[in-house]
Amino acid sequence: MTLAVTGASAPPYRAFVAVGGLAALDQLSKAWAYWALRPTDAVVRVIPGFFHLRYAENPGIAFSLFDSGTPAMRLTLLGIAVCAAVGVSMYLWRTPDNRPVLRTTLTFLLGGILGNAIDRTVHGAVIDFLDVHWGTWHFPTFNIADSCITVGAVLLALDTLHDLRRSSDQVHNP
């Protein structure tokens, strides 16, 4: 007797390859920042007054929250990252291929999570080097992994809103 799996789809191998590519791009860029910017404490003014490259280490999370730098906090943040990576990986694995936006969303999230988790493991802190200013306003220094997480979060919000709208339309227009 053969059981048919309804809604089965191909495993997201390409998405996992893309995750590896995003994490590798993040790590390569951070290696450059580590070797080129850190030793000299240099600031490269790519667009003066707006976009600079500046080496920084963040032992905490976004906006330097939980940046005590204690071994217990570093281990806790790494544990959270590992749990998030496992959860997102499982969700990505189970996401049907007829949901390409959701697969892309999870790919960006996982690539960013892994990029920053590698930093926490190797350096004990996340390496940041992208620095944006606008007049007196200064955005916290960030990296490619942070950008991937942000893109993934925005796409997740848009995908969720799309699903809610579709559900609402089905309720109101059966």
Active site residues: 128, 146
Cβ neighbours of residue 7 closer than 8 Å, sequence gap 6 or more: 96
Both tokens assigned to 92: 């990505």
Closest CA to 110 of 68, 81, 138: 81
Residue 15 burial (10 A CB sphere; 0-12, 13-18, 19+):
buried
Do 104 and 137 touch, CB atoms closer than 8 A?
Answer: no
DSSP H helices, the chain, are 13-36, 71-94, 100-123, 144-172
How many angstroms separate the CA atoms of 13 and 61, rounded?
29
Do 120 and 77 touch, CB atoms closer than 8 A?
Answer: yes
How many angstroms separate the CA atoms of 54 and 38, rounded?
8
